[in-house]
Amino acid sequence: MMHTVEEIKLKDVAFVKTGYTFRSGLDESTQIDSVRVIQPKDILDTEAFNSTKIDRALITSLDKYLLIPGDILIANKGTKFATFLYKENDVETLASSSFFIITPTIEKILPRYLQWYLEQETIKSYLSKRKTGTTIPTINKPVIENLLIPIPHLQQQQHVVDLINEVDRENVLLKRLLVKRAELRDERIWNIILNKNENS
């Protein structure tokens, strides 16, 4: 017997705000007392790389914008709508205004479950149809806030998260295997080349 799953607007299970607006370009800081800034260009396959560090003195109302573990970033400009789940808390980090920051109410929805849902192609298609602007397509905050999210019981959400994590671990192992196979392939190719040169 199929059970229906309640759908709730995102704004009723999470708080949505825009990231920090910088008035000028970001200059890399070498100061010890610096803050990491995540921009859309730093996101690849839901992971963040090569983020910029800036002097914390340049940020006004810093505490208001610092990310906390469980925050989800979703790009509000462009066409990819990349997401990123913030897990760290050892490095103070904020997101640029090119992201919406979604802080889930964990008593209602698990962050990893919500991120998985936001990564679904049906959601990306839904957002794509609601873009505004031509030069740089943009998603307005109410579009995100009014997204309908299926909310199974927390125990079911945890089952989903466990499955996601299991597949993620398998993907990491597969990537390592592919890298190793490529290294072995290149080693064999060089052996062929060197042997050929020796016999010529």
Q: Residue 114 CB: number of other CB atoms within 10 A?
A: 25
Q: What is the pLDDT of residue 19?
A: 92
Q: What is the pLDDT of residue 56?
A: 73
Q: What is the pLDDT of residue 26?
A: 63
Q: What is the pLDDT of residue 79?
A: 76
The tally of CA atoms less than 13 A away on the side-chain side of residue 94 is: 24
- Kindly give, in sequence order, each residue whose CB lies less than 8 Å from that of residue 123, ignoring residues fewer than 6 positions away: 81, 117, 147
Is 2 inside a domain boundary?
A: no
Query: Do 86 and 57 share a structural domain?
Result: yes
Query: Do 188 and 117 share a structural domain?
Result: no
Q: Are 46 and 119 in contact (CB under 8 A)?
A: yes
Is 68 inside a domain boundary?
A: yes
Query: Do 198 and 111 share a structural domain?
Result: no
Is 89 inside a domain boundary?
A: yes
Q: What is the pLDDT of residue 62?
A: 78
Query: Do 131 and 34 share a structural domain?
Result: yes
Count of the separate structural domains present in the chain: 2
Q: What is the pLDDT of residue 148?
A: 95
Q: Residue 79 CB: number of other CB atoms within 10 A?
A: 12
Q: What is the pLDDT of residue 60?
A: 75
The distance from CA 67 to its chain's CA centroid, rounded to whole angstroms, is 13
Query: Do 77 and 134 share a structural domain?
Result: yes
Given the structure tokens 């009014």, which residue do they identify?
146
Kindly list the distances between the CA atom of residue 151 and the CA atoms of 6, 117, 192, in Å, as whole numbers in the listed order.
6, 10, 58
Kindly report whether the global pTM for this prediction surpasses the value 0.85.
Answer: no
Q: For residue 127, what is the domain's CATH number? A: 3.90.220.20
Query: Do 136 and 57 share a structural domain?
Result: yes
pLDDT tens for the 200 residues of the chain, in order: 456 788 999 999 999 999 988 876 665 554 556 788 888 888 876 666 667 777 777 777 778 889 999 999 999 987 778 889 998 777 788 898 999 999 999 899 999 999 999 999 999 999 989 988 878 889 999 999 999 999 999 999 999 999 999 998 898 899 999 999 999 999 989 888 887 655 54
**Domain range for 28:** 7-152
Query: Do 181 and 140 share a structural domain?
Result: no
Q: What is the CA radius of gyration of the chain?
A: 21
Is 36 inside a domain boundary?
A: yes
Query: Do 106 and 159 share a structural domain?
Result: no
Query: Do 111 and 83 share a structural domain?
Result: yes
Query: Do 111 and 54 share a structural domain?
Result: yes
Q: Are 136 and 77 in contact (CB under 8 A)?
A: yes
Kindly list the distances between the CA atom of residue 169 and the CA atoms of 14, 150, 174, in Å, as whole numbers in the listed order.
27, 25, 9
